[in-house]
Chain A
Amino acid sequence: MHTDVVAMHISNGIIGIPVSAIAGVFAAVALAFCVARARADLDDRLAPMAGLVAAFLFAVQMLNFPILPGVSGHLLGGALAAILVGPWVGGLCVALVLTVQALLFADGGLTALGLNVVNMGIVGAFVAYGIVVLLLRVLPKNASGLVTAAWITSVVSVVAASQAFVLEYALGGTTDLSLVGIAGTMAGFHLLIGVGEAFITAITVGTVAKVRPDLVYVLRGRRQPLLLVTAATERAA
């Protein structure tokens, strides 16, 4: 008997082959697009940083935390990746982790890899990026603003990813069960998982922003105005 968590992602056979294949093609096209756009972002600094983000995601995804009696959750990572390295590189980071897990750790079926990449890599990272950019515009431009944005972004992106699974199940589920029931269960569990994800993302992003703000993608272009403001304030003082 094993007590370890052995599978964390969609297994084979839950979603039928046609929808899984369509998701695979969609994932491949989306990732190719990500690679094309990521090249503009990836410089000598971001490239190794992105490798580190992928490795960190792999590590933290192993850390299942309890959310309810008998139910656990783990980081999906879309929000963390999008905030630290941007949506294009971030989506690639999550996809890489899922691929390593599926090929080497027997986690997430090979036929379901496209589904998992779409949900956690594409939906997770891009929903997160859209929200965090909006939030950073309205929230105070300081550490607590960033941490708050990371928090909200994590919860929303995790629930969004869970509903992407519900959509896939609606389109190609191999069983015929109440969609409303599954949508509700998935949303409820992932709201709680999102809170856990929010803690991890906020701590990680907050730490990197403190140590190396220049390595936080969503803060790019912000240092300049901040410096100007500081200089102007000093002159005024």
Chain B
Amino acid sequence: MSAGRTRLAVFLVGGLLVSLVLAGVVSNLASGSPDGLDSATLDGCTTNSDGEITGGNCPAREAGDHELADSPFADYGIKGIDNEFVATGLSGVAGVLITFAIGGGLFWLVRRRPTGTTRSGTDKTEG
């Protein structure tokens, strides 16, 4: 492995570690209030403690449930783990690793090969 590649690997591992700490630990300090979009689209409606609309008129009045609301990582938790700190942290760690794996993999597949070696290796792109 060349020195440049080693330095890049060090940078990538460092960046991933920072991401894992942010998603796995710091995420538990995040504000629990609805974000700007949610707040704006709920403006005019009344909601209960679960955030469900109970009356009034607002842009989100007709909003529906998520199609995958029962999925294992739904709402940045983990099904079956009630401890919020653990559930949020683990789902965050999973999200970072999954995103890096899919993103890194896809970008690697479509990347530009040095000219001359494009045809000699495996297929250019798959899927």
A binding-site residues for B, Cβ under 8 Å: 1-14, 35, 38-60, 62-67, 70-74, 89, 92-93, 96-97, 100-107, 109-111, 162, 165, 169, 173-175, 177, 181-182, 185-186, 189-190, 192-193, 211-212, 215
Point out the residue from B30, B43, B49, B68 that lies within 8 Å of A1, measured CB to CB. Answer: B49
B binding-site residues for A, Cβ under 8 Å: 7-8, 11-12, 15-16, 18-20, 22-23, 26-27, 29-41, 43-44, 49-51, 57-69, 71-77, 84, 88, 91-92, 95-108, 110-112
| A39-B112 in contact given A54-B103, A100-B95, A107-B75 (Cβ < 8 Å) | yes
Point out the residue from B15, B41, B107 that lies within 8 Å of A47, measured CB to CB. Answer: B107
Smallest CB-CB separation from B50: which chain A residue? Answer: A1
Contact, CB under 8 Å: B11 / A215: yes
Q: Specify which of B26, B50, B106 lies most central, judged by the most chain A CB atoms within 10 Å of its CB.
A: B106
| A10-B37 in contact given A42-B110, A58-B96, A96-B103 (Cβ < 8 Å) | yes
Chain B residue contacts of A89, Cβ below 8 A: 107
| A105-B74 in contact given A56-B15, A186-B36 (Cβ < 8 Å) | yes
> Within the assembled complex, what's the spacing in Å between the Cα atoms of A189 and B40?
8
Subset of 16 A-B contacts with CB under 8 Å: A5-B31, A5-B34, A12-B66, A46-B107, A47-B104, A54-B99, A63-B29, A74-B35, A96-B102, A100-B98, A106-B73, A107-B76, A175-B62, A177-B57, A182-B43, A212-B7
The smallest C-beta distance from B55 to any residue of chain A, in angstroms, reads: 14
Smallest CB-CB separation from B11: which chain A residue? Answer: A212
> Within the assembled complex, what's the spacing in Å between the Cα atoms of A92 and B111?
13
> Within the assembled complex, what's the spacing in Å between the Cα atoms of A9 and B41?
11
Chain B residue contacts of A42, Cβ below 8 A: 107, 110-112
Contact, CB under 8 Å: B107 / A51: yes
Q: Specify which of B11, B16, B77 lies most central, judged by the most chain A CB atoms within 10 Å of its CB.
A: B11
Chain A residue contacts of B38, Cβ below 8 A: 7-8
Smallest CB-CB separation from B38: which chain A residue? Answer: A7
Smallest CB-CB separation from A70: which chain B residue? Answer: B33
Contact, CB under 8 Å: B64 / A109: yes
The smallest C-beta distance from B64 to any residue of chain A, in angstroms, reads: 4
Chain B residue contacts of A12, Cβ below 8 A: 63-67
Contact, CB under 8 Å: B111 / A39: yes
The smallest C-beta distance from A58 to any residue of chain B, in angstroms, reads: 4
Contact, CB under 8 Å: B64 / A104: no
Point out the residue from B58, B73, B103 that lies within 8 Å of A51, measured CB to CB. Answer: B103
Point out the residue from B59, B88, B102 that lies within 8 Å of A173, measured CB to CB. Answer: B59
Chain A residue contacts of B49, Cβ below 8 A: 1
Contact, CB under 8 Å: A4 / B107: no
> Within the assembled complex, what's the spacing in Å between the Cα atoms of A65 and B22?
13
The smallest C-beta distance from B65 to any residue of chain A, in angstroms, reads: 7
The smallest C-beta distance from B126 to any residue of chain A, in angstroms, reads: 14
> Within the assembled complex, what's the spacing in Å between the Cα atoms of A7 and B65?
11
Contact, CB under 8 Å: A44 / B92: no
Contact, CB under 8 Å: B100 / A54: yes
